[in-house]
Amino acid sequence: MKIAVTGGLGFIGSAVVRHLLGPTTPRGEDTIRGEDPIEPIEVMNVDKVTYAATTGSVASVAESPFYHHVAIDIADGSALREAFARFEPDAVIHLAAESHVDRSIDGPDAFVRTNVVGTYELLQAARFEAERRNVLDSFRFVHVSTDEVFGSLGLDDEPFDETTAYDPRSPYSASKAASDHFVRAWHETYGLPTIITNCSNNYGPFHFPEKLIPLMILKAVAGQPLPVYGRGDNIRDWLYVEDHARAIVTALRRGEPGQTYAVGGNAERTNLDVVQTICDQVDAELGDEVGDRRNLIEFVADRPGHDLRYAIDSSKIQQELGWVPSIEFTDGLARTVRWYLDNEWWWRPLLSERYDGQRLGVAVAS
Ligand code: NAD
Ligand code: DAU
């Protein structure tokens, strides 16, 4: 099976590529379950290589003859169509995106270009390629989206599921919502077999240090102040990235075209709770030579339009496709802290060359 993975040098995309080509492949799982035919997988990683991309995140599989990277902008339709005609994919897993809410507040343009226009160009390229080879029915287009398209929950609201109405509130979530609508339209109008996943917050190895968990780990390690937005009472539902990678590949192999699957970790935590747990875990690993790291926490100006709470009911993908999250949050967080301590080679150059941990997304007009 030939799969074009977009955004495969990013956080989740690289986990998908490692899952598809690494030693714990879905082929192994299927052998155990005695389901789906076992077939070799070949991956074309379509990644423009933005600030968020790291080749080190796929180093464990990059030497495989079944792995290729093409540095293409998904908003460049003709380059995409040429690459698809050469590779002849059976499926697309679409993860390429501008992904950071704070950056979308500072500069929404790139979010519209990549997340909206890029998704449109990718849909067109997939459709033309599937039609050209007369494989439209067997083709699959998996669109990896976010729970943020559903807006913000109150503390007593039921979690989001596949029936929740769209209500995006940030430039990032608006661009992702638009992309979801285009994907559905290509299924209804052109018969492209699309599947959408809407997932909650991911964490784990190779997470770019602009996001809450890696940023707090690296600042805690350095003994620097830990900036918590508002009062730290916003709630996110955390999922270990490798569990998400399995969910995406499960949706590709077993999902029904035209369907949407909500994916979550069933691990709601306030931001303050997450940051305090990180402090305790770093103290336990490194000792408290800088004092109790909880004392580094500083409450800072809130994110504009900060969504209060996200939570996902993932019963549908669990019951219909047999996916379940396997890694419990505190354990996954401890593994993540350990991974950052062991892999300075990966994150140190990012801090010195790309992003030094400064505050983003305060909506100051430039
Ligand atoms: P990321 O920012 O870590 O990686 C994005 C990757 O896409 C990078 O490698 C980048 O180079 C590439 N890319 C960006 N613009 C491109 C373009 N125009 N053409 C080609 N490649 C381009 O993102 P992530 O956190 O891994 O998120 C991946 C996907 O999953 C996104 O679509 C995001 O909306 C979705 N998602 C993320 C989370 C999360 O918690 N991180 C949760 C749910 C859904
Ligand atoms: O819910 C899924 C989404 O999760 C994905 O679609 C996005 O791509 C991903 O970035 C993530 O969005 P969030 O905005 O929830 O993630 P972030 O790590 O930026 O922030 C998590 C929470 O932590 C949020 O409530 C804001 C807060 N925060 C963040 C940073 C960077 C802080 O309090 N301090 C910080 O320094």
pLDDT values of the chain reduced to their tens digit, one per residue, 366 residues: 999 999 999 999 999 999 999 865 554 444 434 445 446 799 999 999 999 999 999 999 999 999 999 999 999 999 999 999 999 999 999 999 999 999 999 999 999 999 999 999 999 999 999 999 999 999 999 999 999 999 999 999 999 999 999 999 999 999 999 999 999 999 999 999 999 999 999 999 999 999 999 999 999 999 999 999 999 999 999 999 999 999 999 999 999 999 999 999 999 999 999 999 999 999 999 997 888 999 999 999 999 999 999 999 999 999 999 999 999 999 999 999 999 999 999 999 999 999 999 999 997 654
- Catalytic, 237? Answer no
Please tell me the predicted confidence (pLDDT) of residue 289.
81
| Ligand 1 pocket check for 121: Cβ under 6 Å | no
User: Cα of 137 to ligand 2 centre, how many Å?
Assistant: 37
Q: For residue 237, give the ligand 2 atom closest to its CA.
A: 1
| Ligand 1 pocket check for 99: Cβ under 6 Å | yes
The residue annotated as part of the active site, out of 121, 148, 180, 210, is: 148
Predicted TM-score (pTM) of this structure = 0.97
User: Cα of 316 to ligand 2 centre, how many Å?
Assistant: 25
Domain boundaries, the chain: 2-202+241-265+308-326
Please tell me the predicted confidence (pLDDT) of residue 120.
98
201-203: strand order across its sheet: 201-203, 235-240, 268-270
Please tell me the predicted confidence (pLDDT) of residue 25.
52
Closest CA to 179 of 211, 132, 142: 142
Answer yes or no: CATH 3.40.47.10 is held by domain 2-202+241-265+308-326.
no
The residue annotated as part of the active site, out of 147, 180, 210, 280, is: 147
Q: For residue 216, give the ligand 2 atom closest to its CA.
A: 36
Q: For residue 201, give the ligand 1 atom closest to its CA.
A: 40
Query: Kind and range of the H or E element at 236?
Result: strand 235-240
CA dist., res. 34 & res. 226, Å (int): 48
Please tell me the predicted confidence (pLDDT) of residue 290.
86
* Two tokens, residue 168: 């995006």
CA dist., res. 230 & res. 301, Å (int): 6
Query: Kind and range of the H or E element at 202?
Result: strand 201-203
pLDDT tens across 2-51, in order? 999 999 999 999 999 999 998 655 544 444 344 454 467 999 999 999 99
- Catalytic, 147? Answer yes
Closest CA to 234 of 159, 296, 307: 307
| Ligand 1 pocket check for 265: Cβ under 6 Å | no
Give residue ranges with CB within 6 A of ligand 2. Answer: 99-102, 146-148, 200-201, 211-212, 215, 227-229, 234, 236, 271, 303, 310
